[in-house]
Structure 1
Amino acid sequence: MDFFVLLIIFIIIVVIAAKAVKILRPYEKAVVERLGKYQRTVESGLTVVIPFIEHLRRVDLREQVVDVPPQEVITKDNTVVIVDCVIFYEVVDPFNAVYNVVNFYQAITKLAQTNLRNIVGDLELDETLTSREMINTHLREVLDEATDKWGTRVVRVEIQRIEPPKDIVDAMSKQMKAERMKRASILEAEGYKQSEIKRAEGDKQAAILESEGQAEAIKKVAEANKYQEIAIAEGEAQANLTVYNSIHQGNPTNELIAIKYLESLEKIADGNSTKIFLPAEMSNILGSVGAIAELFNDKDANKKSKPKEANNVKIPVVPTPKLDSEE
């Protein structure tokens, strides 16, 4: 009998100890109520409460997510879009989180839907589709201010989907396609324009370079011709000077000059259609030529007369006729 009583007492002690000793994890805090009244807030770790008198309510301090269901929202330009978002929050004050809101999940969901309709309702469709970051920031500020008395802090808000009606999507797709085709045409025209400009500049530069090359070539050719003419003139002058000096050093006679003159005249008169007009001064020259001819005839006559001296025969010398200057 005593053993049974001791066993019951031991069981009661174990139950009371289990009720009195509580262990809170590192991410938890708790609110202790004594006979239905707030007593204290306890941190994580080992906590002792009075069994059957004090009650412990745990609060999770980790960041949590609320998925706001999709809803239809009318934009400023009367377009219906379907919008949904997710909210990330964390509890910073366990007392307010326990005593200031009954169902935090439902409260934050309704609050997010209401403010999302207000924010999107002030924007046009194009702004709604391109202003996700602005909507996120504005909605987070509104929710954080509203949930401050609930002992929570809204960390961030993210828009998951903004879906316009199917006909609007088709119209936007056609508009985007037309805009892209327009940009492509503009870019193609701009590219053609730039290519033509570059080509014209290239042709211009090529023409300039070609003109400069031709001018330089003409300049070089002119300089070469100049040097050639100078060299030829200097050569002719040197040749004339050499001939002149040679003639004077050789001390030519009138007869030699006359013979050279006749040789030159023969070359000049060579040809069937050549006509020569002799000036008046030619009579004096031809007289000298006649004298030279008589001289040669006398020499020939003396040579021939030597073997014929026995017969005493004299060969007559024919005088050279003088040409009329008018002929």
Structure 2
Amino acid sequence: MTSIISYILIVVGIFLLFKTFFIVKQQTSGIVERLGKFQSVRSSGFQLKIPIIDTVVGRINLKVQQLDVLVETKTKDDVFVKLKVSVQYMVMKDSVYDAFYKLESPRAQITSYVFDVVRAEVPKMKLDEVFERKDDIAIAVKGELNEAMLDYGYDIIKTLVTDIDPDEQVKEAMNRINASEREKVAAEFEAEAERIKIVAKARAEAESKRLQGQGIADQRREIARGLEESVDVLNNVGINSQEASALIVVTQHYDTLQSIGEETDTNLILLPNSPQAGSDMLNNMIASFTASSQIGEQMKQKNKEKGLGDSTKKNK
């Protein structure tokens, strides 16, 4: 009987010993109550308490925690949109009592305030403004939460609007608008590139024509100079200018016939091509030159007579 009592006492002693101490982890605070009344806040490490009388009723996490809240609301232009707001918060070390006893569910409380602020701010904005001013929404949420949660021992570290998700039809419409804008810009660039190519081609053709014209002018100038030299040579041997010009033309005629004869695959036919063609051409040219000279002499004589008549009238 004595051994049984001793065994019971040993077991009770061990039980009370284990109930006397407890361990609080790093970045955690323990709440100790004595007979149902708050007794103390214990920090991290090895802690002692009175068995049965003192009780560890809770532990408060002092780390920075994050709560993601998904809020659905409507914008000023009647577009339904879902916003994901991430709230980073922590319990202040000197306010552990308030955090444990004043607020039953801090995450639900924070969620309620986020809903309230977002649904108050977003309906004032159009959809594009929501994307542009998401930082303003986050600042508004943080300001409201800080003011409300400070009394409960919670510090709001930061709030972020991490996602903005409009209705599916709205997203499709926005994508079509963006695609149209990009196609418009692409078309403008393509048109500008085509214009540049056309201008460059026109400039190249103009330069080519200019050089071609210059080449033809130089060619004709050299031909004229050669003809002039030929006429001078013929004049030196007693052939006048008209006869020399006719002789040069006839010579070029026969040179042309010779060049045509040297080509085997040509379809060119020169008319007239009789043996008398050169002689007829020479006679016709001499007659033309003679007639031209006579007409020129007559015009000079008339002009001279007219000039004399005018001067006589002036003298009178």
Q: Greater CA radius of gyration, 1 or 2?
A: 1
User: Partner residue of 2:298?
Assistant: none
Contact 2:71–2:118 under 8 Å retained in 1: no
User: Partner residue of 1:135?
Assistant: 137
43-52 or 155-164, larger mean C-alpha shift: 155-164
User: Partner residue of 2:157?
Assistant: 155
Aligned-pair RMSD on alpha carbons?
3.4
CA-CA distance at 1:39 after TM superposition:
2.4
TM norm structure 1: 0.56
SS in 2 for 1:82: strand
User: Partner residue of 2:123?
Assistant: 121
User: Partner residue of 1:253?
Assistant: none
CA-CA distance at 1:199 after TM superposition:
8.4
Structure 1 distance, partners of 2:15, 2:66, is 37
1:58 has 2:53 as partner = no
> 1:274-309, CA deviations, whole angstroms, 9 ceiling, x for partnerless residues?
xxxxxxxxxxxxxxxxxxxxxxxxxxxxxxxxxxxx
User: Partner residue of 2:256?
Assistant: none
Structure 2 distance, partners of 1:91, 1:74, is 33
The number of equivalent residue pairs is 214
AA of the residue aligned to 2:31: V
User: Partner residue of 1:110?
Assistant: 112
Where in structure 2 are there 5+ consecutive unaligned residues?
212-236, 239-316
Judged with a 3 Å threshold, the aligned counterparts in structure 2 of structure 1 residues 6 and 133 are, in CA distance, closer, same or farther, namely same
User: Partner residue of 2:72?
Assistant: 72
Structure 1 distance, partners of 2:105, 2:15, is 32
> 1:41-73, CA deviations, whole angstroms, 9 ceiling, x for partnerless residues?
2110011111222222211112223232x3420
TM norm structure 2: 0.57
CA-CA distance at 1:191 after TM superposition:
4.5
Structure 2 distance, partners of 1:9, 1:183, is 90
Structure 2 distance, partners of 1:85, 1:171, is 25
| Percentage of identical aligned residues | 26
User: Partner residue of 2:13?
Assistant: 13
AA of the residue aligned to 2:65: Q
AA of the residue aligned to 1:35: L
User: Partner residue of 2:27?
Assistant: 27
195-204 or 100-109, larger mean C-alpha shift: 195-204
> 1:232-291, CA deviations, whole angstroms, 9 ceiling, x for partnerless residues?
xxxxxxxxxxxxxxxxxxxxxxxxxxxxxxxxxxxx99xxxxxxxxxxxxxxxxxxxxxx
CA-CA distance at 1:164 after TM superposition:
1.9
155-164 or 179-188, larger mean C-alpha shift: 155-164
CA-CA distance at 1:124 after TM superposition:
0.9
User: Partner residue of 1:37?
Assistant: 37
CA-CA distance at 1:190 after TM superposition:
4.5
